[in-house]
Amino acid sequence: MPTELLVSRTPLHTWGLWRREGEVRALSVEAHDAPARLGALVVARPLSRDGAGNWFLDGGEVGRLWLSAADAGGVVEGRNLPVRIALPARGDKEPRVRRGLELPGRFLVARPGGGEPRVSRKIQGEARERLIALLAGLPERRGWIARAAAAGAAEADLVREAARLDDTLAQILRGAESAREPRVLWELPPAQRWALGAPAGCAVVEGERDAGELVVEAEAALARRVRLPSGGALVFDAAEALTAVDVDGGASTPDAANREAVVELSRQLRLRNLQGTVVMDLAGTPSAEDARELLATVRSAAGEDPVRRTVVGIVEPGLLLLTRSGGEPALEAVLVEDCPRCGPRHRIRPRLVAEKLLAGGAAAGRVHPCELSRVAGLLASAGDNRSLVADPEVATGGC
């Protein structure tokens, strides 16, 4: 059964549930009041440079942006330059941008200027040769990249998309040349952005869904403890620099628990959209042969991941190391916050509380004191000014 992307809007968020064979495989969420704006093309103005040569830019309505020193050659303070948002803001870090404009389509990516056509590394053999020949016949004023989804696309569809991208990029370039102040030149709403990254054959279905059910899916995806079939569990703890995952073997043998754990970890990486370094503490130290089998399982699953996943290996004393890098923010980064009363040692989920209250329609709501002010603000942003009652007995998921 092909993957389907179910898109819904609630008062506070846009939701994307990626389902396959009836199971939710991934969950994408974007807050209306804090959009990721990934891929947005922006005319930005360089403001200042830090000691390492990185630049801070004024992006107009998108706020301050960060440009790496490695991509900052020739940047002049006060002189506008076109950039694209490559990574969203995380914590107190500004969104990361890259130089130049790049316009993505379902099958192709168009860039200003010419250059050799490029094809996704996921496409090999005759399909790759066919696409290289086809790209060579597209307008030479663009640099063309064939995305993985182009492998099975009809030539007519590719030519049609190339014409649309060429025309849109021409309009964007005219806007960049005429811009006097920092501003957004082009961006896609989240549902369209997610659809562009969907696998081949994925059906995109937009419609209203019960917000309470969406919150239940999100709470399940954020669970700290995930049960394994044999009775063990994975225990997730997120830190700023990495995500730690402990394998609780339960009553099963360490080898059996580890085999189940690496399979479930691959699912959880996508479900939670985990980013950065992930360290899994296996149940015991596997033998060399068992370690090879575990790594083979993890690497096999990596091929199905739409974002780059690098499996570093298993090191003593039984730690599985991998990294995962992607643009979309992690689910926890959108829905979980540091407690304003207790600080970062406790985490709260006011967005999910507010969505449940909005879905329930009650005249008043009982909320944990640590979440009261944030929930009230979120409700007000949705035009809801109901009264809230502080109740320390209400669970927060953190405090």
State the amino acid at position 339 in one-letter form: C
Stretch 64-71: mean pLDDT, rounded? Answer: 97
pLDDT at 6 over 90: yes
Report domain extents, the chain: 1-36+190-211, 41-100, 222-325, 336-390
- What's the distance, CA 380 to chain centroid? 27
Stretch 310-325: mean pLDDT, rounded? Answer: 91
Dihedral over Cα of 123, 125, 131, 137: its sign: positive
Stretch 249-264: mean pLDDT, rounded? Answer: 90
pLDDT at 252: 81
State the amino acid at position 234 in one-letter form: L
pLDDT at 80: 96
How high is the mean pLDDT of the chain? Answer: 91
Retrieve residue 271's tokens: 């479900």
- How far apart are alpha carbons 133 and 129 in whole angstroms? 6
Is residue 12 within 8 A of residue 349, CB to CB? The reply is: no
245: β partners: 236, 280
Stretch 315-333: mean pLDDT, rounded? Answer: 89
pLDDT at 307: 81
- What order do you get walking across the sheet with 4-9 strand by strand? 23-31, 13-20, 4-9, 203-206
- How far apart are alpha carbons 45 and 65 in whole angstroms? 9
Minimum mean pLDDT range among 12-26, 166-180, 352-366: 352-366
Retrieve residue 183's tokens: 């501003």
- How far apart are alpha carbons 249 and 229 in whole angstroms? 11
Does CATH number 3.40.630 belong to domain 222-325?
Answer: yes
At which residue do the structure tokens 């090879």 appear?
292
Stretch 167-188: mean pLDDT, rounded? Answer: 96
pLDDT at 238: 85
**Out of 2.150.10.10, 2.40.50.140, 1.10.3720.10, 3.20.20.110, which CATH number does the structure's domain 41-100 have?**
2.40.50.140
Q: Which of 318, 345, 347, 342 is nearest to 331 (CA)?
A: 347
Q: Which of 312, 230, 292, 236 is nearest to 267 (CA)?
A: 236
Give the residue, 262 or 251, on which the prediction is more confident.
262
pLDDT at 170: 96
**Which pTM does this prediction carry?**
0.88
* Predicted confidence (pLDDT) per residue in 269-281, tens digit: 999 999 889 999 9
pLDDT above 90 as % of the chain: 70
- How far apart are alpha carbons 132 and 310 in whole angstroms? 27
In three-state secondary structure terms, 235 is strand
pLDDT above 70 as % of the chain: 97
